[in-house]
């Protein structure tokens, strides 16, 4: 299929050429991925390492956290490069529509970061992704708050990690989630303890259901 570009689009693509969101190379007709879901975002060699998750679980998770997806996520989290946001949001939105097609959500939110980490990075990457996902629900990116840093998590054992994170999240003041169906977005699912802690805080505050959607998961889960 040949897609014709308007003169304006041609000019814009010269001024703002697309780059691979994983390795950063400029994308041209000869090196971009032939896969139509990936063509605007990945070069053909990075695209080979993109693995869609076909596992079925209670959560909506479209991708595996490996290869080009890991590289793109690291750019977003540690290099202030927001170019992967659109791809992650598209992938997440398709998966949410597919997995939760019969659910009418009341509130759409994301896993919060501490104020310190938002100040350091300039944004909460889960919020950036979630805010590009089109869901028919009230969006409240500050529904939950993170009260303490959990940045040393990787140094802890699984039990210590769980204990540390369980008390890290709470409902922001002035919020009422009683009886509500809530969709919660996170970037990467590692052990599941972050989403579990957020879901617990929402359920203890009276939410009727919490549905979880993450961009990518580690394969050993
Ligand atoms: Zn690439």
Supply the pLDDT for residue 4.
58
Supply the pLDDT for residue 208.
98
Shared-domain flag, residues 26 and 127:
no
- The Å distance, Cα 146 to ligand 1 centre, comes to 34
Shared-domain flag, residues 41 and 66:
no
User: How does the average pLDDT of the chain come out, rounded?
Assistant: 90
Residue ending a domain, choose from 48, 67, 89: 48
Q: For residue range 52-86, what is the model confidence (pLDDT) as tens digits? A: 998 878 899 999 999 999 999 999 999 999 999 99
Helices (H), the chain: 7-15, 44-47, 67-78, 85-99, 115-121, 125-130, 158-166, 193-204
Give me the CATH number covering residue 213.
3.40.50
Q: Does the structure show a pLDDT above 70 at 13?
A: no
- The Å distance, Cα 216 to ligand 1 centre, comes to 18
**Neighbour count for residue 56 (Cβ, 10 Å):** 7
In a domain, 8, yes or no: no
pTM of the model as a whole: 0.88
Supply the pLDDT for residue 149.
67
Supply the pLDDT for residue 1.
38
Q: For residue range 138-160, what is the model confidence (pLDDT) as tens digits? A: 999 999 998 876 656 667 777 77
Shared-domain flag, residues 91 and 194:
yes
Shared-domain flag, residues 211 and 192:
yes
Supply the pLDDT for residue 219.
84
In a domain, 5, yes or no: no
Shared-domain flag, residues 148 and 57:
yes
Shared-domain flag, residues 26 and 63:
no
Portion of the chain with pLDDT greater than 70, in percent: 91
- The Å distance, Cα 16 to ligand 1 centre, comes to 17
In a domain, 6, yes or no: no
**Neighbour count for residue 31 (Cβ, 10 Å):** 14
DSSP 59: S
Instruction: Give dist(CA 127, CA 109) in Å, integer.
Output: 8
Shared-domain flag, residues 34 and 140:
no
CB 144, CB 202: distance < 8 Å: yes
- The Å distance, Cα 23 to ligand 1 centre, comes to 4
- The Å distance, Cα 145 to ligand 1 centre, comes to 35
Nearest to 62, CA basis, from 129, 150, 140, 151:
129
Provide φ and ψ at 79, rounded to 5°: -120, 15
CB-hemisphere CA count at 13 Å for 68?
23
Provide φ and ψ at 70, rounded to 5°: -65, -45
Instruction: Give dist(CA 166, CA 168) in Å, integer.
Output: 6
In a domain, 70, yes or no: yes
Give the burial class of 111: count Cβ atoms within 10 A of its Cβ; 0-12 exposed, 13-18 middle, 19 or more buried. Answer: buried
Supply the pLDDT for residue 181.
98
Supply the pLDDT for residue 148.
72
Shared-domain flag, residues 25 and 60:
no
| Structural domains of the chain, count | 2
Portion of the chain with pLDDT greater than 90, in percent: 71
- The Å distance, Cα 51 to ligand 1 centre, comes to 14
Per-residue pLDDT averaged across 36-45, rounded?
96
Q: Which residues surround ligand 1, an ion (CB under 5 A)?
A: 20, 22-23, 43, 46
- The Å distance, Cα 71 to ligand 1 centre, comes to 9
> pLDDT: is 164 or 47 the higher one?
47
Shared-domain flag, residues 67 and 150:
yes
Range of 36's domain?
Answer: 17-48
Pairing outcome for strands 138-139 and 209-217: unpaired
- The Å distance, Cα 47 to ligand 1 centre, comes to 7
In a domain, 178, yes or no: yes
Shared-domain flag, residues 44 and 57:
no
- The Å distance, Cα 46 to ligand 1 centre, comes to 4
Shared-domain flag, residues 91 and 117:
yes
- The Å distance, Cα 55 to ligand 1 centre, comes to 26
Q: For residue range 161-192, what is the model confidence (pLDDT) as tens digits? A: 777 787 889 999 999 999 999 999 999 998 88
- The Å distance, Cα 141 to ligand 1 centre, comes to 31
In a domain, 151, yes or no: yes
In a domain, 12, yes or no: no
Q: For residue range 97-124, what is the model confidence (pLDDT) as tens digits? A: 999 999 999 999 999 988 888 888 899 9
- The Å distance, Cα 24 to ligand 1 centre, comes to 6
CB 180, CB 207: distance < 8 Å: yes
**Neighbour count for residue 28 (Cβ, 10 Å):** 10
Shared-domain flag, residues 24 and 70:
no
In a domain, 39, yes or no: yes
Instruction: Give dist(CA 165, CA 200) in Å, integer.
Output: 11
Supply the pLDDT for residue 88.
98
């Amino acid at each position: 299929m040949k897609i014709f570009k308007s003169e304006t689009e041609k000019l814009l693509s010269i001024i703002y050429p697309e780059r691979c969101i994983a390795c950063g190379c400029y994308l041209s007709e000869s090196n971009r991925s032939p896969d139509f879901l990936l063509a605007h975002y990945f070069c053909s060699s990075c695209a080979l390492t993109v693995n869609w998750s076909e596992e079925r679980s209670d959560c909506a998770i479209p991708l595996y956290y490996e290869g080009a997806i890991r590289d793109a996520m690291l750019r977003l989290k540690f290099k202030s490069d927001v170019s992967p946001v659109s791809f992650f949001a598209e992938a997440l939105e398709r998966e949410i529509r597919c997995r939760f097609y019969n659910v009418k959500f009341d509130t759409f939110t994301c896993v919060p970061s501490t104020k310190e980490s938002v100040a350091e990075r300039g944004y909460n990457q889960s919020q950036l992704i979630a805010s590009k996902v089109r869901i028919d629900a009230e969006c409240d990116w500050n529904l939950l708050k993170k009260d303490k840093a959990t940045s040393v998590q990787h140094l802890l054992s699984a039990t210590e990690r769980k204990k540390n994170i369980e008390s890290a999240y709470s409902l922001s003041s002035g919020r009422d989630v009683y009886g509500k169906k809530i969709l919660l977005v996170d970037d990467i699912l590692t052990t599941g303890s972050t989403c579990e802690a957020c879901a617990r805080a929402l359920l203890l505050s009276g939410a009727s259901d919490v549905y979880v959607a993450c961009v990518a998961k580690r394969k050993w889960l």
